Amino acid sequence: MLNVLRLWKVVDLRIPMDLVWLLCIFVLFSGELSLGQSKPNADTVTIGAIFTFTTINGKVAQIAMKAAENDVNADPTFLGGHRLSISMHDSNFSGFLGIIGALQFMETDTVAIIGPQNSGTAHILSHLANELHVPMLSFTALDPMLSPLQYPYFVQTAPSDLFQMMAVADMISYYRWREVVTIYSDDDHSRNGITVLGDQLAERRCDIMYKAALPPDPTATESDVIAELNKIKLMEPRVIILHTYTKTGLLVFDVAKSLGMMESGYVWFATTWLSSVLDSNSSLSSKVADSIRGVLALRLHTPDSKRKADFSARWNSLSNGTIGLNPYGLYAYDTVWMIARAVKMFLDQGNNISFSNDAKLSNVGGGALNLEALSIFDGGKQLLTNVLQTNMNGLSGPIKFNPDRSLVHPSYDVINVLENGYRQIGYWSNYSGLSIVPPEELYAQPPNRSSSNQHLNSVIWPGGTSTKPRGWVFPKNGKQLSIGVPRRVSYRDFVEQVNGTDIAQGYCIDVFLAAIKLLPYAVPHKFILFGDGRKNPSYNELVNEIAADVFDGAVGDIAIVTNRTKIVDFTQPYIESGLVVVVAPVRNLNSSPWAFLRPFTPSMWAVTGVFFLIVGAVVWILEHRINDEFRGSPRKQVITSLWFSFSTMFFAHRENTVSTLGRMVLIIWLFVVLIINSSYTASLTSILTVQQLSSPIRGIDSLIISDSPIGFQVGSFAENYMVEELNIPKSRLISLDSPEDYASALKTGRVAAVVDEKPYIDLFLSNHCQFSIMGQEFTKSGWGFAFPRDSPLAIDMSTAMLTLSENGELQKIHDRWLSRKACGSQNSGAGSDQLHLQSFWGLFLICGVSCAIALVLYLFFVLRKFKEHSHQVSEPSSHGSSRSARLQTFLSFVDRKEDKSRSKSKRKRSQELMNKYGESNLSINGSNRLEIDVSG
């Protein structure tokens, strides 16, 4: 016994002590561990296999591995003259016997072990494999916790249950269920799988509400199952995930059928154990078939191929018709070939199969244990490397390992059990998620696991219905939902207590009751008033009571804000809301002597005046050389330009524009003046006829920068919002209890403004018309009903309220409670009566650009004429050498009246005089001046 304990210490086995003592008893009675196995022939490559051969997967694996052994040995040259020999060991549901079988294989120079079938045994035997360098390959021990870091010599040759649980979680999310119940066998394999499932569901904002553990298969009894299922019947979730083995799983479905848990409303998911039963049993008993009808199950996906079809055709003769082929049989066949290929590569690399004694075991000492028979496989590390480098097409499809030792492209079939068998409704793969297209067809496309790309075909659920079950119900224990309702003392149209009773009524209550009636199930509930009745309660505290499980929900005028959504779930908003600013009474400002200046802002007045000057200057420049009306003494020209510019305001200018460019600028400017005049007239009319607010507060921005006190409603989120989001000092905030308190505080100046939610303010203004909303809503939110996190009732109530909105019932409830004659909203937005520069900058921009273009063109034409003039007139050389003189000449040329225009004007004047006095009375003197003889 001491030597046994030393053995466990040497190989560092962390196993239950009951297995240690069982092994000790076995050694005491047997005298030695060796079972008398002889050493294999030198030309034989021995592989061990540890399975429970009375199980479905054990039977299928045994037949498939034997077929693979024969196929490998059919070509004597494949292993270079060596023969492959698979030695089978039946663990018979016993982890202890599995350990004994492994020790037996270690004595007989086994190069690899296929199995064990059970993940719990795999955890133990992996320590032996690590010590003796014997690779272990299993396609059934798929526990996600069998880490390659801890167990480097253990290789899973089928997809780990990590991917199976990802598939289940994706289906739960696809059908929009939030809570599930799991039933599993309490062993390493099932327990660890459920743990991983919980992690995957949490990533999708789903949750396992209850985990029902059954005794390890096959020891679970009917009474064990009945006890757990009766607990589950009293719970809300109706989505049940069964992760176990054949015997226990079928027992659970049989009991569930008798308890009425396979009827409409229930959802059952089974992992791959059920698909193995369906594939390997051509005909199930009517009792079993009836108990699993409507179940969804997963099956390892193996793509179609000629090799697979040929093997399936051989299966009948291989099994003698005793059992059907399931995917685990394909993986068993491929696992043998993986080892055979690795051994072939090992031999081709020039290695020899040899074993050596383990010095650690030799030092343990004598006793009854034949520890010297346990030897290390010298080439075990290289053989393991060859296995991990596998890249082949097997019966199960392409086989290749990722760097983390997971198989590439893990995938599953999703099947729906029907009355006469099952129907495949889709696929799941780690690459593309849920799809009705085979995964291998999607591998050539970019991965797309968005929710819009997830699809499954229709399902026949338990009870024979094709309508997706809701997935939860109210527990059948008579408990009513405790719904918290704020006991308001103001704005009682929303929620109020009826005459000191515990009955609540109001707009919010009617919306809730109308939505409840639309649900396809009864919702027993009772209202519980929250608050002391002397002031409005804190809505944050009410929401916190839901998170603390004091209330099952809350109904009332509860704003949906960020800090509350972190701890509870809200329904769809049933009324829009947002914070607004209400200011003091209005007075008439139209008696101000300077009211005529109010239509424009100072910047607008300034820019308008500047443009009058600019346009006058531009027109003068364009007309000066050719238009006599813009010539004369400097004083006259300045006065003419100013008069012309400002007279355009009234379209009263009398000076004619002669140049094309001047006319273009004037037309554009007159259009601008027309728009400005019209806007000014309309705005001034409004100012002189409509009352304006006396408050300097023009909205939330001006309220923030002021030092004025601000009122808010007791219990509202407005206080925290202004302090935390707007950084308004808390000392400026004054709590107000009622609409009358609002009016009094605003009239007396105790507060400069009140900040509250718009539904309250609308009611307030309906009775207090002298106040007004300033600016716009500066938050956008709504009111909703609150429920605990992940409550399915929140989703169903949201759907019901959308229906109320679409059929008009929500508006009818609003009109019944909140319809008032609004008088304050018409002054909303006061303070924006002035016309700002940004409203006209486009017009000014067009005018400015046109002036600039006209000046550039004018300068171009003048320079060209000046250049022509310079060539025609000879100038003194001194002038040509002086830039200042040349500039002076240019300015003189610009200021000079254009000759063509002068001659034309003279001829026009002469013609007028001739018409008036007659041609005989006109003469031209020697100085070319026109003289008139008026003596006659």
Q: Give the residue from 572, 560, 532, 556 showing the smallest Cα distance to 484.
A: 556
Give the pLDDT confidence score for residue 628 in this predicted structure: 62
Give the pLDDT confidence score for residue 665 in this predicted structure: 79
Which runs of consecutive H residues, i.e. helices, occur in 559-623?
562-565, 602-623
Quote the mean pLDDT of the chain.
83
Per-residue b or e along 783-803, where b marks 16 or more CB atoms closer than 10 Å to that residue's CB: bbbbbbeebbbbbbbbebbbe
With both helix axes pointing from N to C terminus, report the angle between 660-689 and 841-872 in degrees, rounded to the nearest 10: 160
Give the pLDDT confidence score for residue 695 in this predicted structure: 63
Tokens representing 478 are 């008579």
Q: Is the pLDDT of residue 827 over 50?
A: no
Q: Which tens digits make up the pLDDT trace of 851-897? A: 888 778 877 777 777 777 666 554 444 444 466 776 777 666 666 66
* Top-confidence residue, 65 or 369: 65
Give the pLDDT confidence score for residue 903 in this predicted structure: 45
Q: Is the pLDDT of residue 906 over 90?
A: no
What proportion of the chain, given as a percentage, has pLDDT over 70? 80
Give the pLDDT confidence score for residue 586 in this predicted structure: 55
Give the SS3 label for residue 676: helix
**Predicted confidence band at 380 (pLDDT cuts at 50, 70, 90)?**
very high
pLDDT mean over 64-80: 93
**Predicted confidence band at 480 (pLDDT cuts at 50, 70, 90)?**
confident
Give the pLDDT confidence score for residue 346 in this predicted structure: 94
Give the pLDDT confidence score for residue 445 in this predicted structure: 86
Euclidean distance between CA atoms 788 and 484, whole angstroms:
12
Q: Is the pLDDT of residue 620 over 90?
A: no
Spell out the long-range contacts of 352-358 with Cβ–Cβ below 8 A and sequence spacing 24 or more: 352/379, 353/45, 353/109, 353/111, 353/377, 353/379, 354/378, 354/379, 355/109, 358/131, 358/132
Q: Which tens digits make up the pLDDT trace of 222-269? A: 999 999 999 999 888 999 999 999 999 999 999 999 999 999 999 999
Euclidean distance between CA atoms 919 and 936, whole angstroms:
13
Give the pLDDT confidence score for residue 379 in this predicted structure: 92
Give the pLDDT confidence score for residue 385 in this predicted structure: 95
- pTM score of the predicted model: 0.65
* Top-confidence residue, 408 or 881: 408
Q: Which tens digits make up the pLDDT trace of 546-581? A: 999 999 999 999 999 999 999 999 999 999 999 999
Kind and range of the H or E element at 669? helix 660-689
Q: Which tens digits make up the pLDDT trace of 513-553? A: 999 999 878 888 999 999 988 889 999 999 999 999 999 99
Tokens representing 832 are 């924006």
Beta bridge pairs of residue 137: 114, 155
User: How many residues would you count in the chain?
Assistant: 936
* Top-confidence residue, 803 or 2: 803
Kind and range of the H or E element at 681? helix 660-689
Tokens representing 562 are 């960020």
Q: Is the pLDDT of residue 689 over 80?
A: no
Cα 389 to the center of its chain, rounded Å: 39
Torsion of CA 123, 127, 130, 135, to 10 degrees: -40
Give the pLDDT confidence score for residue 309 in this predicted structure: 95
Give the pLDDT confidence score for residue 593 in this predicted structure: 67
Whether the link from the prior residue into 218 is cis, omega within 30° of 0, is yes
* Top-confidence residue, 499 or 160: 160
Give the pLDDT confidence score for residue 335 in this predicted structure: 97
**Predicted confidence band at 651 (pLDDT cuts at 50, 70, 90)?**
low
Q: Is the pLDDT of residue 37 over 50?
A: no
Q: Is the pLDDT of residue 798 over 70?
A: yes
Give the pLDDT confidence score for residue 676 in this predicted structure: 80
Q: Is the pLDDT of residue 347 over 90?
A: yes
> What is the number of alpha carbons within 13 Å of residue 830 lying toward its C-beta?
27
CA distances from 721 to 314, 382, 762 (A): 74, 66, 20
What proportion of the chain, given as a percentage, has pLDDT over 90? 50
Q: Give the residue from 176, 160, 210, 74 showing the smallest Cα distance to 401.
A: 160
Q: Is the pLDDT of residue 623 over 80?
A: no
Lowest mean pLDDT among 183-187, 241-245, 742-746, 847-851: 847-851
* Nearby residues of 866 by Cβ (< 8 Å), 6 or more positions away: 890, 893, 894
Count of CB atoms within 10 A of residue 655's CB?
17
* Top-confidence residue, 257 or 631: 257
pLDDT mean over 595-604: 76
Euclidean distance between CA atoms 131 and 109, whole angstroms:
14
Kind and range of the H or E element at 211? strand 207-214
pLDDT mean over 583-612: 72
DSSP string, 882-894: -HHHHHHHHHHHH
Write phi, then psi, for 602 (nearest 5 degrees): -55, -40
* Top-confidence residue, 452 or 22: 452
> What is the number of alpha carbons within 13 Å of residue 4 lying toward its C-beta?
18
Q: What's the burial of 282, exposed, middle or buried (CB within 10 Å: 0-12/13-18/19+)?
A: exposed
